[in-house]
Structure 1
Amino acid sequence: MIRIWLTYLILIACGIQCEAQSWNDLRKDGKPIFTFTVNDTLDFPVYVVELPVENTKYYAAKLQTNVCNDQVCLPIEVNLFWDLLGNYHHFSKEDKFNFTKFDHQYFDENDYKRLNQILLDSLSPLRDYAVDDLLDKQAKKFSFEIDAVTRPTSPLFSNVTVPGALYTVYTLWHLVNGPIKQKLNEYTSQVYAERNWQNYFASSQVPSYQEYFLKHLSPAEIVRFKEKIIALLFAEDDFIPHYAIDVLQSNVFQDPTEYNPIIERLDHLKPHVITEILNTLSGYNQQTKAILGRFKDSPKASVKQKEIIEKSINYEEQ
């Protein structure tokens, strides 16, 4: 559910970002991280950038290219953004530039939102077809701008494109969801510790960043970032707290002096997280028993959790 809402918020935000995020306003590293080449015909530098208001980091590229092979739409100028794991995030354009579709008609606001939604779908049917396979071989459309005939999109694929802008959508989708994703992810793996991105990932509200942080901790970093890990027990995402428990299980949850401050806040955790923590604790001291006793008598404790506490205390007293 959290991931669905995050996607929804991204789509809403695109109404602002797609229109207003100028390349010149971004804080960029002095040098690109690499120059990416597409089919030996297009290359562009990729930068680590930061949004000046949000202090949010992305990989980004400014792209200027032709997207049509039939001259019925104009060249495109677009700023493309990926998250730090290589997943496409959003695009923006300069205020005075407009995307065009068939016969040089401008995109409207809904077209921009639809384009962003399509680009976010990394499993789109666009992945499996050549662009010519998406055209209606029977129908034809006449362009008054260039005095020529072109083929419209097949009705079978009308739901995965912006009407009148198939080449633009297809080109951008394959660019943002193609091999560049893996190259960006590999770059993150190489520089993650060097750039000290652990704090950024751990403090982010993005579940995929939190998960990456928890799954790429060395033994020394588990000690160094212990408080960050503990904080993720209280994350909004349903899965992240369980990854945090896995990290803390062999050290923090074996020592009551370490875990007692955590279980003092059991009532702030989600029920499924509470249950797993109760099943993980060992080595109770008197303070532990007192804390768990109070929680057991509280309305927050479920029947199952009360049973776990009673059995655990009885076992510790044997």
Structure 2
Amino acid sequence: MMNHWMILFLFLLSFQSKGQQKPIVPEVSIEYRVNDTLEIQVNLIQDQKTSAYYYHTFLATDICNDKVCLPIQVELFWNLMGEYDHFSILQGQVFTKFDHQYFDQTDYDLLQEILLDTLSPIRDYAVEEFLDKKEQKYSVELDAITRPTLKVFSNVTVPGALYTVYALWHIVNGNIKQLIRNQLDVVYKQHQFADFFATSNNASYQEYYLEKLTGDQVVAAEPILVRLLFSNDDYIPHYAWRKLGAAYYADPERYNNLLKDLEKLKPHLQLVVLRSLSRPNLRTKEILMDKAQSKTLLQNQKELIYKLLNYEK
């Protein structure tokens, strides 16, 4: 079903923030047309507290077409892959629900959870389809009647804040993702984001770093690649292991330190490591003998250790 939500922005006003207490990267700016009535500017910034980079915009909008909630002022943030990351409410500002009731922390947490859900039903339905046309709800503030949200959709919105949630979801999950992603290759190179991506906990950043790492960069990047073997992601450690290459697997002076922390690797990667290594030296065998006594290793892992001890490769 098509999204017909122009009505949400009938009274929309949007402007850029000033003095956001963050160093702006002015040469990276994206004009983001949300729909026919809303266009915002999204800028690349660096957060002073965390040193993390985000795409950021400031949005001020009268978001409820029935006026049962107050206008909002909010900062929106996307990561460098174009994925929505978080929002921030300016000091002294507050979101409101039906009849101008203030959001509490539970409401803000729920809003963040909904905005992060790229598969939310909000994606496929017009806002009017969420309303219960058989029921009416009286607004004390407006002395008027409005429509409540259908109970079947009650779990996809903040209670009493359907218009706010619906509009923000489409803003943060719209074609801004592709617009940001189109900038990534250039921004990554120009601003030398390799270290930032490699040391991030974001698996998408780690994968992009590995994708861009060329063969002649592998030796210099070896400490980073070894660190990525311990990534929480299921795929990244395998990708990093392949990048290290045969020269690493055949050099005990390079892989012995990794063997010391063998138990800290994911079990399936432990097997991959043990199957790949060759030419163990005396120090390798000392480490492996110690590991063979571990109660945390599986039997098939110990069998591979005994083969390495006897150098059956």
Query: What is the TM-score of this pair, normalised by structure 1?
Result: 0.83
Q: Distance in 1 between matches of 2:251 and 2:266?
A: 22
Secondary structure at the aligned position of 1:164 is classed as coil
Query: Deviation at 1:228?
Result: 0.5
Preserved CA contact (<8 Å) 1:260 1:288: yes
Equivalent in the alignment of 2:6: none
Matches within 5 A, 1:103-182: 103-182=99-178
Equivalent in the alignment of 1:17: none
1:309 to 291, 305, 308: 305
Does 1:65 find its partner at 2:61?
A: yes
Does 1:39 find its partner at 2:39?
A: no
Preserved CA contact (<8 Å) 2:139 2:146: yes
How many residue pairs match? The answer is: 296
Equivalent in the alignment of 1:11: none
Does 1:52 find its partner at 2:48?
A: yes
Query: What is the TM-score of this pair, normalised by structure 2?
Result: 0.84
Preserved CA contact (<8 Å) 1:60 1:80: yes
Equivalent in the alignment of 2:262: 266
Preserved CA contact (<8 Å) 2:26 2:44: no
Q: Superposition RMSD on alpha carbons, in Å?
A: 2.5
Query: Deviation at 1:285?
Result: 4.5
Equivalent in the alignment of 1:224: 220
Secondary structure at the aligned position of 2:170 is classed as helix
Equivalent in the alignment of 1:295: 291
Does 1:253 find its partner at 2:232?
A: no
Does 1:86 find its partner at 2:82?
A: yes
Does 1:196 find its partner at 2:196?
A: no
Query: Deviation at 1:64?
Result: 1.4
Q: Distance in 2 between matches of 1:106 and 1:133?
A: 25
Query: Deviation at 1:198?
Result: 1.2
**% same residue:** 47
Query: Deviation at 1:316?
Result: 4.1
Name structure 2 gaps, 5 residues minimum: 1-17
Q: Distance in 2 between matches of 1:103 and 1:23?
A: 32
Equivalent in the alignment of 2:14: none
Residue 209 and residue 219 in structure 1: after superposition, are their counterparts in 2 closer, same or farther (change >3 A)?
A: same
Query: Deviation at 1:160?
Result: 0.8
Name structure 1 gaps, 5 residues minimum: 1-21
Secondary structure at the aligned position of 1:192 is classed as helix
Preserved CA contact (<8 Å) 2:279 2:311: no
Amino acid at match of 2:134: Q
Q: Distance in 2 between matches of 1:95 and 1:111?
A: 17
